[in-house]
Chain A
Amino acid sequence: MAHDTAHGKDPIKRIWFVFALLSIVTIVEVILGIIKPAFLIENTFIKMKLLNWIFIILTIYKAYYITWAFMHMEGETKGLRRSVVWTAIFLVCYLVTILLVEGDYIYEVYRTGHQAWDF
């Protein structure tokens, strides 16, 4: 396994650094989730609350460290990294598009129908 010698730094030290980083990010997320700052909830960006944007970005940040450090993706060749990451990104984009376009289909059927349903 070539990645053992790929990075010269002490791997144990790096593991604990990543653990501290992930913990801090999680604590920040939980604190934000509990206090829910008003201006982050009232303001939106592309129809989504800023708070949710922050949560999703921090989550991707954590996912990056888990895959890169724990699953030692950083030691793999560029081709493997790209084929794994871009495949996942395309799949997620596809699923998000489907949800955004078709997610309220059933709601629309009910809403434009002639029977009361929300009572």
Chain B
Amino acid sequence: MFNHFPFLHGVDAPMYYVALMTFILIGSSVTMVLAVDAGHHMKQKKVILYMFLTIIGGAIFVGSQAWEWKNFINGEYGAVETHGGQILQFVDNTGHRVALENIAVAVPGEREQHQKKNGVWYNGEKELPTYSMNEIIKGFEAKPEILVRTQILDENGQKTILSREESLAKLKAEGRNIVEGANLKHNEYGTPLFADFFFFITGFHGFHVFSGVIINIIIFFNVIIGTYERRGSYEMVEKVGLYWHFVDLVWVFVFTFFYLV
């Protein structure tokens, strides 16, 4: 699911972008150390330069995180959720995933979204998915090369791909609704629990990076107006530096447990 890279559409780039983000964050940590070191030698100009680079690195990181959230939330292929909450994905006969838009056929007479203004006025409903279950099932019947992939792992640790008959039976008997993208309740890529953990942990970390950038900016302006030059010590730069390294340290663990393991 983390196979996207900016401006490279449709290119399979596993983890490249998150690796780049990691480098940017470590790099901003390095410029922070350099700023602290320049502060020890009371070199105001150098502190300004290195703190500026640190802030830029942090801002790029937060922006990248937001971009990744956008990809995850919007999803790419879409999937069907069963009554038991399992995810059924669609693959072609080469094992590549197929998007819902390539499966669905338009079925006339589909229902419209029930809005507050119609009928019982205080009862609205959530936005309907792009396709209905009926459209997906009809489209699936019409395209014989498409199969269903379940989340159950076989003995080699691969996700099981059902035969054509099994696929159709499973889809009709157990399919409940369409899932597009991920949120705290549904996740087209796998279990909702992973999405929960992912949003919770990276959200917390991203918030810390964001606050770190804000604090860095405050200290950055203090450096520019010469507060620490008058005070005779750049200890505040060192303190925000410690916070910044802490955020970097946490990212090292987040990177391992959410992207690698």
> Which chain B residues border A18 with CB–CB below 8 Å?
30
Cβ-defined contact, B84 with A118, below 8 A: yes
B157: nearest residue on chain A (CB-CB)?
Answer: A41
Cβ-defined contact, A55 with B256, below 8 A: yes
Q: Of B19, B246, B248, which is within 8 A of A27 by CB?
A: B19
Cβ-defined contact, B15 with A55, below 8 A: no
Cβ-defined contact, B256 with A59, below 8 A: yes
Cβ-defined contact, A66 with B40, below 8 A: no
Contact A59/B253 with A11-B37, A119-B82 known, Cβ cut-off 8 Å:
yes
> Which chain A residues border B40 with CB–CB below 8 Å?
1, 4
Cβ-defined contact, A119 with B245, below 8 A: no
Cβ-defined contact, A70 with B33, below 8 A: yes
Cβ-defined contact, A66 with B248, below 8 A: yes
What is the bound-complex CA distance between A118 and B174, given in angstroms? 11
Contact A33/B15 with A15-B33, A63-B249, A66-B252 known, Cβ cut-off 8 Å:
yes
> Which chain A residues border B26 with CB–CB below 8 Å?
19, 22-23, 26
> Which chain A residues border B14 with CB–CB below 8 Å?
33-34
Contact A23/B23 with A12-B37, A29-B256, A34-B14 known, Cβ cut-off 8 Å:
yes
Cβ-defined contact, B29 with A70, below 8 A: yes
What is the bound-complex CA distance between A32 and B82, given in angstroms? 34
Cβ-defined contact, B261 with A19, below 8 A: no
What is the bound-complex CA distance between A52 and B84, given in angstroms? 30
Interface size class for chain A?
20 to 34
Asked if B260 is at the interface of the complex by the 8 Å CB criterion, the answer is yes
What is the bound-complex CA distance between A16 and B31, given in angstroms? 10
Q: Of A11, A12, A33, A118, which is within 8 A of B86 by CB?
A: A118
Asked if A56 is at the interface of the complex by the 8 Å CB criterion, the answer is yes
Interface size class for chain B?
35 or more
What is the bound-complex CA distance between A88 and B248, given in angstroms? 17
Asked if A117 is at the interface of the complex by the 8 Å CB criterion, the answer is yes
Q: Within residues 22 to 61 of chain B, which ones have a CB less than 8 A from any CB in chain A?
A: 22-23, 26-27, 29-30, 32-34, 37, 40
Shortest beta-carbon distance from A115 to chain B in Å? 11
Asked if B242 is at the interface of the complex by the 8 Å CB criterion, the answer is yes
What is the bound-complex CA distance between A58 and B23, given in angstroms? 16
Q: What 1/0 mask marks residues of chain A from 1 to 38 whose CB sits below 8 Å from any chain B CB?
A: 10010000001100110110011001101101110000
Q: Of B27, B246, B252, which is within 8 A of A59 by CB?
A: B252
> Which chain A residues border B32 with CB–CB below 8 Å?
70
Cβ-defined contact, A26 with B23, below 8 A: yes
Shortest beta-carbon distance from A18 to chain B in Å? 8
> Which chain B residues border A71 with CB–CB below 8 Å?
242, 245-246, 249
New contact pairs (5) apart from A1-B235, A15-B34, CB-CB < 8 Å: A1-B238, A26-B26, A66-B252, A70-B30, A117-B84
Query: Can you identify 20 A-B contacts, CB atoms within 8 angstroms?
Result: A1-B235, A12-B34, A15-B33, A19-B30, A23-B26, A26-B19, A26-B22, A26-B23, A29-B256, A33-B259, A34-B15, A52-B261, A55-B260, A56-B256, A56-B261, A63-B253, A66-B29, A70-B30, A71-B246, A119-B84
Pairs A-B, 4 closest by C-beta atoms:
A119-B84, A59-B256, A30-B19, A70-B245
Interface positions of A (Cβ within 8 A of B): 1, 4, 11-12, 15-16, 18-19, 22-23, 26-27, 29-30, 32-34, 41, 52, 55-56, 58-59, 62-63, 66-67, 69-71, 116-119
